[in-house]
Chain A
Amino acid sequence: METSVGVGLGEIAVSQNCEEILVAFGLGSCVGIGAYDPVKGIAGLLHAVLPEPLNGSDLSSTKYVGNGINKLFEEMISKGAVKERLIIRIAGGANMLTSPGLSKTFDIGTRNIAMTLKVLETQRMKIVSQNVGGSTGRTFRIYVADGKMTIRMIGEKETVF
């Protein structure tokens, strides 16, 4: 009997429980970073909100991509995961506002993706697959049982990526 574990804004969830599914619902401009150690069967999901701190507040918060990724890896490693084995997939980072008349395009989504790629590259971590960009929200799921990761958009079926 599977149980969903919701991962809200700025949150991280790490699990070895085969019956759990880690879920980040409705990622708009937010980016979901999923990691899985296939040997130990440890899954982790980060729901990052912003590329970097706006005005010096909450500097250590995991809602920022960099902090979040570091904390995600830290927690998974503390449970026995090996960083080099981690299978990483990312999803989200949509630009939700694209209509004419909005003088500045809302580009947080793009900036979140860029920061994610930069941070992971700095740590020499390879991204196996990604479902990012566009202008639609996504729900990101990680099945702890086998590390399967899926996304679902409104009106569409859940698909593995």
Chain B
Amino acid sequence: MTELRSIFTDEFVNLLTKISKEGIENASKGFAGMLGKELTVKSSTAKLVKLLDIPKMLGGPEDETVAIYLKTEGGIAGQMMLVMPCEKAFGLVDMIMGEPIGTTTVLGKMEKSALQELGNITGTYFLNYVSDNTGRSVRPTPPAVMVDMCAAILDIVIATAGIENEEVLMLDAEFVQGDLCTEIQFWVIPDPQTILAYGAK
């Protein structure tokens, strides 16, 4: 995996950060546009963290966690996952659906669907950028929204890519709607192949 390390240069991380931030901002603007309510996003910090450290940072390996997962097919095959603690997901759904914070307490079909669309718009924005810059077409699968223990969810990425020692990008985004704000962490875990394809352009 040494090839991966050399591609995760500062320059590349900055680029990944930039397009991930734009992806989230883009997605949220879209919801505001559709709701007719002002919803702004301030993306504050971005840093590289080890995949295996994620459970500790989210609370614990058994903590109830929501993940929005999608695979990519076409010129670049890989996977992406947005991960957040369950409570944060509730707050995010409230904002997307224009409800007062605290309304959502369970992720039913509609709530998961809203998260699915957030994942779709955010993830696809990222892929569009990669595609336009590599000249390769890349299409996502419909996102899957999962709710389970943090460690179990991370198994998906770890087992498939065999990359438990690798680092991923963590973004801190603050969603603001009127007087309310909620802070969410987004983990962008592009598959090594996606990164390698980008690096090979």
Contact = CB atoms under 8 A, between A and B. Distances in A.
B158 interface: yes
B141 A101 contact: yes
B152 A28 contact: yes
A28 B151 contact: yes
B152 A94 contact: yes
B126 interface: no
B62 A26 contact: yes
Given A26-B62, A154-B148, A96 B156 contact: yes
Interface residues of A, number: 33
A25 B62 contact: yes
Interface residues of B, number: 29
B75 to A, nearest CB: 15
A27 to B, nearest CB: 7
Contacts of A139: 62, 149
A136 B149 CA distance: 8
B159 A50 contact: yes
B146 interface: yes
A97 B154 CA distance: 12
B162 interface: yes
Contacts of B52: 8-9
B144 A137 contact: no
B102 interface: no
Contacts of A25: 55, 60-62, 149, 151
A102 B71 contact: yes
A137 B73 contact: no
A99 interface: yes
Given A28-B148, A136-B148, A154-B148, A96 B155 contact: yes
Interface in B111-158: 141-142, 144, 146-156, 158
B149 A29 contact: no
Contacts of B69: 97
Contacts of B142: 99-101
Given A8-B52, A103-B71, A30 B159 contact: yes
A124 B43 CA distance: 56
Given A28-B155, A28-B156, A97 B144 contact: yes
Contacts of A102: 71, 141, 144
A108 B71 contact: no
Contacts of B174: none
Contact of B159 (A6, A55, A57, A108): A108
B108 to A, nearest CB: 15
A136 B65 CA distance: 12
B159 A103 contact: no
A161 interface: no
A49 B1 CA distance: 18
B38 interface: no
Contacts of A154: 62, 64, 147-149
17 contacts: A25-B149, A26-B149, A26-B150, A26-B151, A27-B151, A28-B149, A50-B162, A57-B1, A57-B162, A101-B141, A108-B160, A136-B152, A137-B149, A137-B153, A139-B62, A154-B64, A154-B148
- Please list the 9 inter-chain residue pairs (A to B) with the smallest Cβ-Cβ separation, ordered nearest first: A137-B152, A26-B151, A28-B155, A28-B152, A26-B149, A101-B142, A25-B61, A99-B144, A137-B149
